[in-house]
Structures are given as structure tokens and as C-alpha cells.
Amino acid sequence: MFAALALLPYVRATAAEYRASSYVFGTVVEIKVVDRDTVRAQEAVGRIFREFDRMHRELHAWQPGKLVALNQAIASGEKNIQTTAEIAELIRGSQVLAEQSGGLFNPAIGKLVGLWSFHRDKPGGPLPDPEEIARLIRANPRISDLSVVGDRVTSANPAVQLDFGGYAKGYALDRAADILRENRIENALVNVGGNIMALGRREGRPWRVGLESPRGKGVLATIELADGEAIGTSGDYRRYYEIDGKRYSHIVDPRTGYPVPGVQSVTVLVPRQRGAGALSDAASKPIFIVGPGGWKEAAARMGVCCAMLIDANGVVHVTRELSARIRFGDPDRIAVQ
């Protein structure tokens, strides 16, 4: 999920709106700030990009950094491993979300993700050995295998390998919002590769954002966001590869060890609350994994009432709560549930 941060972000400023973009977490990050004080906006956005750069280095799942060092210590069977306060807090937060999801949100399956070659900048074949997949499934790595006291971690299972790729973009949204508020910026929009958080308003009106179509080009729908609301999207169309006409995406079912079929994308909307960004990112994963058969129940378990799932046939399934707020370009494809 992670890639190098571009050295110089692109910026553009108007009288009231400051914009900047860069490349981090393997995706484009865009920030818009509406504030008459352009210098203050520029300084805040600069802080955000520096913070994202630090996160990229320390939380990378497969390049040397704090997280990789922790994973190596877990694999070697070390006990009482010292890590950073941030990683310790991410583990604790992940444990709560994992329990809520019934184990479907599971950042401990990094070895499985790597086995499917998604711990490479450009994933691709060959396909992993089914016996190796089965071995890792039998090992049953879970985030609950970790015990955290302060900034020290002990693992009951050496098969645990942490990968916060399904959590990091949402966590980044929360960090960006904190920095903007610390700089007294009330109106902004942060977009981390389709994971979005809104602060305040744009020229007296709610921020309106477009939701990307998972197949083809263009915008599937638009939605207005209130202050502090976050959108998280998981899809099979950004990080994937195809072999013999079959698509393999980076979202792996921890129960089977295989990439999840049958779903193109899942989008959730989370109201303003502490950790809204992280929840929006994490909650989309169990919904995606469960698929069309039980997606609404999975959303409810995560405390999400506004959700949308697009199945393998391109049919859009949307909760009534989200349907009341979203505007679709082609309403005939929509199944309100």
C-alpha cells in the first residue's frame, strides 16, 4: 500500500483556496484548504505532508522501518519487544476493530498479503503455492495474538506479521484533520486515494465529492459531506493483477487466505467522531470480504449505517441511509436495501 513520497508537491493557490497534491501510501494525496490566510494554509499543508512522509517510513509494511523491525522480532520469537507509542496505539485500535468485525479486519495477516505478492511496488505472479497458503491459515495469525503494555509488544504467535495497509489511509485522514485544527483551519478537504475527510464548508456550502466508478472512467455518484465526516473505499481496481483472465486484488480473506472475489468496491460514510477516518478505512474491509450475501449485517457490526457495495456484475447495493444522501448518474443500476 505504501510508496515513496514525491519530493515536491504540486501546489496552486487562489484568493481563498489553497491546493496541494503529492504521492504517498501508493496513491495521490490531495488537500484543499479554504482560508484567507494563504501562508497559514501552506504551513499546515506542509506539516501534513511531512507527517505523511514520516508515517510512510515508519509504518511501511515491507521496507525497513519501525514496523518491519517489530515484525522481524515477532517472527524470531522475541518477547517484550519495544516499539513506538504510535505503533502500539495502532495495534490497540486495530484489536478493537478486529473484534468488532468478527476477525475479518485483521492487520496480522501480512505474511498472506506478501505471499500474494502485494508486498511489492508492482504486484504480480506467479500465484502462491496452495500448501503455503494452507500452512498460514492453520497458523491462524490474529491481531488478538498480540499483547501490548505501554510501548512493549509480546506475540503469542510467530506467524503474526503486521500490515496496516487497510488502516493507514484512514489513520492519515485523522492525523491531517488534527493538524489542520491545530493550525486553526476550519474548512478543508483531504483526499488520500479516495479516502476523504471534510472539515467545515466550502464557500458556505457543504463539500461535494465524487465517487469513482470501479470499472471504466468517470464518476459514479456525488455526495455532500458535513463537517468531520469521512468516506472510506475499498476496491479491486487499484491494486490488483490478472492471470489467465482472473483478477486477484489486494484484499485477502483471512479465513481462506485467498483474494476476495465477487465485489468491485465498497464505500462507507462515517459521521464526525474520534477516529472517523480510521473507522471509514477499516470498516470497508469486512463488508467487502462478506460480499453481497451479508454486507449490511457486516456494516452494522462495524457501526456503519451509510454503506454501498458494487458487486461483480456492477449492480450497486446501497443502504437507505446513504441512498437519501447520494446522487447517482445512472439510478437504474441502484438496488436500495
pLDDT tens column, 147-186 = 999 999 999 999 999 999 989 999 999 999 999 999 999 9
pLDDT of residue 4: 34
Which domains, ranges and CATH numbers included, belong to the chain? 10-56+170-336 (3.10.520.10), 66-166 (1.10.3980.10)
Per DSSP, 14 falls in state -
- Secondary structure of 34-97 in HEC code, one letter for each residue: ECCCHHHHHHHHHHHHHHHHHHHHHCCCCCCCHHHHHHHHHHCCCCCEECCHHHHHHHHHHHHH
Binned at pLDDT 50, 70 and 90, residue 14 comes out as low
| Residue 248 bridge partners (DSSP) | 241
Over pLDDT 90: what percentage of the chain? 86
Residues 165, 123 contacting (CB under 8 angstroms): no
Total number of residues shown for the chain:
337
pLDDT tens-digit map of 22-50: 998 888 999 999 999 999 999 999 999 99
Q: How far apart are CA 321 and CA 229, in angstroms?
A: 14
Q: How far apart are CA 157 and CA 180, in angstroms?
A: 39
pLDDT of residue 27: 86
Residues 116, 128 contacting (CB under 8 angstroms): yes
Q: Which of 25-34, 137-146, 226-235, 269-278 has the lowest mean pLDDT?
A: 25-34
Nearest to 195 by CA among 248, 91, 117, 265: 265
Cα angle value 323/168/241 (rounded, 5°) = 80
Residues 185, 40 contacting (CB under 8 angstroms): yes
pLDDT of residue 11: 53
Q: How far apart are CA 264 and CA 11, in angstroms?
A: 32
Q: How far apart are CA 288 and CA 101, in angstroms?
A: 12
Q: Is the pLDDT of residue 244 over 60?
A: yes
Binned at pLDDT 50, 70 and 90, residue 5 comes out as very low
Residues 119, 110 contacting (CB under 8 angstroms): yes
Q: How far apart are CA 50 and CA 333, in angstroms?
A: 42
Residues 311, 264 contacting (CB under 8 angstroms): yes
Quick one: average pLDDT of 237-247? 94
pLDDT tens-digit map of 45-58: 999 999 999 999 99
β-bridge pairing 240-243 and 306-311: unpaired
pLDDT tens-digit map of 262-315: 999 999 999 999 999 999 999 999 999 999 999 999 999 999 999 999 999 999
Cell numbers of 251, please? 484484499
Binned at pLDDT 50, 70 and 90, residue 12 comes out as low
Supply φ then ψ for residue 235, to 5 degrees: -145, 165
Average pLDDT, the chain: 92
Q: How far apart are CA 167 and CA 164, in angstroms?
A: 5
The side-by-side arrangement of strands in the sheet containing 17-24 is 10-13, 17-24, 27-34, 188-192, 195-199, 230-235, 263-270, 306-311, 316-318, 334-336
Q: How far apart are CA 64 and CA 50, in angstroms?
A: 19
β-bridge pairing 306-311 and 263-270: antiparallel
Over pLDDT 70: what percentage of the chain? 93
Q: Provide, for the chain, the percentages of residues in helix, strand and coil under a 3-state DSSP scheme, each rounded to the nearest 5.
A: 35, 30, 40
Q: If you search the block for the grid coordinates 514525491, which residue do you land on?
A: 6
